[in-house]
Amino acid sequence: MTAANSVLKPKRLAPGQTIGVIAPSSPASEDDQIHAALEMLESLGFRVKTGAHLYRRYGYLAGSDAERAADLNDMFADPNVDAIVAFRGGYGASRLLPYLDYDLIRRNPKLLMGYSDITALLNGIHAKTGLVTFHGPIADGNFTPYTLAEFKKVLLNPQPPMAIGVPPASEVGEGVVERKNRLVRIAPGTARGPLIGGNLTLMAHLTGTPYQPDFRGKILFLEDVHEAIYALDRYLTQLWLAGLLQQVAGIVLGKFTDCTPNYGGGWSLTLEQALADRCLPLGIPVLRGLMIGHIDEQTIVPVGCEAALDVEAGTLTLLEMPVM
């Protein structure tokens, strides 16, 4: 975000509003996949409007770059659309960045939500306009009770300060400990700053582009899926060599789902080792294990919102209203 861009906040969600559904990345495998996504949003009490090219398929893309960018621009321009949710991720969102109308987006701030490949849009749009965007569920999936509660807490009825992404309670006791959703305190301390981040692969790919967000003084949150450890190491090293990791105030590591030691045999660092190699020398607080990423039970993280990280407490707390 340039110095000229002040932070813009979209209006909060409310039942009865209209959500625009677009496919900025990969397409649906079948049309009924889209029908189910629209029904899911309607079950939450919203009206839906579909992008003109939502059903398009162009190889691994949901239409041409011009078509997908037009759908996003049109949703921001439409006064009858209150918020925008990505149908799914996949690949291709970063290809849209040169074709977006950032002046239009700045004049019509709206809630934009998605994750995975949508990371490129969340951070690129925030960098260019100052708009707070939301790393959260896509339309192509169901909300668990945990996700629904986080969704309502952040987007419908926010009351800061409020912790987000705290692992759900589980039954523990004699002979039973939490194993699936553990918090790992990699480096102690506290930090405060605006949030940036999302999928590690996409954050690395934005490096050196005009759409790279400002890392200075930020709390960086990262997650990924289906990546070998050496690939995660490569992406973290890219951010480190670019001098970006050294600029942040703190790091929150979400879930690295199905990230295996290697794809073809041989020796590998563990995920624990790879993360520690890049994070520990920074001398900043680092917490791993919040409910961010390619998981059913996920929180909503507002890119650009002021937050506080407390490693000892195991919390990431929003300090301001993410929506108006």
Give the DSSP letter of residue 246: G
Q: Which residues, at least 6 apart from 57, have a Cβ–Cβ distance to it below 8 Å? A: 27, 28, 63
Distances (CA, A) of 275 to 14, 33, 186, 230, 290: 39, 36, 9, 11, 15
- What pLDDT was estimated at residue 264? 54
Beta-carbon count within 10 A of 269 CB: 16
Q: Residues 252-301: pLDDT tens digits?
A: 999 999 998 865 556 899 999 999 999 999 999 999 999 999 999 999 99
Mark the ranges of the chain whose per-residue pLDDT is less than 70.
1-5, 262-266
Q: Which domains does the chain have, with CATH numbers?
A: 18-142 (3.40.50.10740), 162-169+180-318 (3.50.30.60)
- Please say whether the beta carbons of 201 and 123 come within 8 A: no
Q: Which residues, at least 6 apart from 135, have a Cβ–Cβ distance to it below 8 Å? A: 113, 114, 115, 118, 119, 122, 197, 198, 221, 292, 300, 301, 302, 303
- What pLDDT was estimated at residue 267? 83
- What pLDDT was estimated at residue 265? 58
The catalytic residue positions are: 116, 223, 294
Q: Which residues, at least 6 apart from 6, have a Cβ–Cβ distance to it below 8 Å? A: 130
- What pLDDT was estimated at residue 261? 83
- Hey, is 67 helix, strand or coil? helix
Question: Bridge partners of 21?
Answer: 50, 85
- What pLDDT was estimated at residue 3? 38
